[in-house]
Structure 1
């Protein structure tokens, strides 16, 4: 009997976090496409996962958020080279709830909170120190008080419909285990696929 995919991911993720050769097990490639189908990929950090999906946070005015507004689907890829493992998943994307975003934002270091107010992510900067000046402005604005979550900063949840687990094998005899969620029942089907 196959391990359910979310449990298998939890097992592999736990092992990746324990592996000394992996700098950050939560680093994942996020692939999106705009409304016209033009793809884009970048690295982001997984902040939470459970049966509802895989969560990351970003500036809502960023290119990735704009892509997701026009085409709410994404793919994620975790590659843990020292373990010879990779996990790929694809699915629909939904915004996290406001209270969930507020709760996560409150756990961030203060400078990261101020940076969320200061950064105009992916827009041109007039000079190299523009970000530092904007962080200083945000720091002066909030003084020593709590920093609220900016309205332009929140999270997205990727709800997986496909999950593939890849394990490296000698002579390219890799192991690929594919799980696909049924649209009707939500149950996961499983099959092995050629490398």
Structure 2
């Protein structure tokens, strides 16, 4: 059984590398097409500081009125739960990266240099967007469905730039969405959320 699992892992790894290599740009910096800059812009749309800013802007919007008092309280608690979920997702992602230690496909092409996050599996950006996609429809009704294609676009851009393998992005998205589903399912049963709802 162990040999079967090793063989399966080997085949999945090589399939992942081949598919990722096919998607990645392979041009030198001097000849980068417009698609490179588009992918780079998309990759930055998943940065943590940007989503921290989004959380802060939503908090300010919901604290300045416009909603009924009950709606404002519920949204603020939902936003707080989302932020806690994002922090838990980031922590779990970093813990997994530290233990798996899969090297990135193109260490020389990292957007911020080597830095502290030199491991590839799972993608932190994809995990973040998985979490955001699950919460988005509750936090921003009507706009939430845009989070799913945004998550796919950001994941594609990370592979296109040679920063991640396809499997890293897929696993990160599943991790983030799965953890968000658990948070959404179980947080309302906590006493503090029952008092608000």
Q: With structure 1 as the length reference, what TM-score do the two structures score? A: 0.25
Which structure: greater strand fraction? Answer: 1
Which structure: greater helix fraction? Answer: 2
Q: With structure 2 as the length reference, what TM-score do the two structures score? A: 0.25
**Greater RCO (Cα-Cα under 8 Å, separation 6 or more):** 2
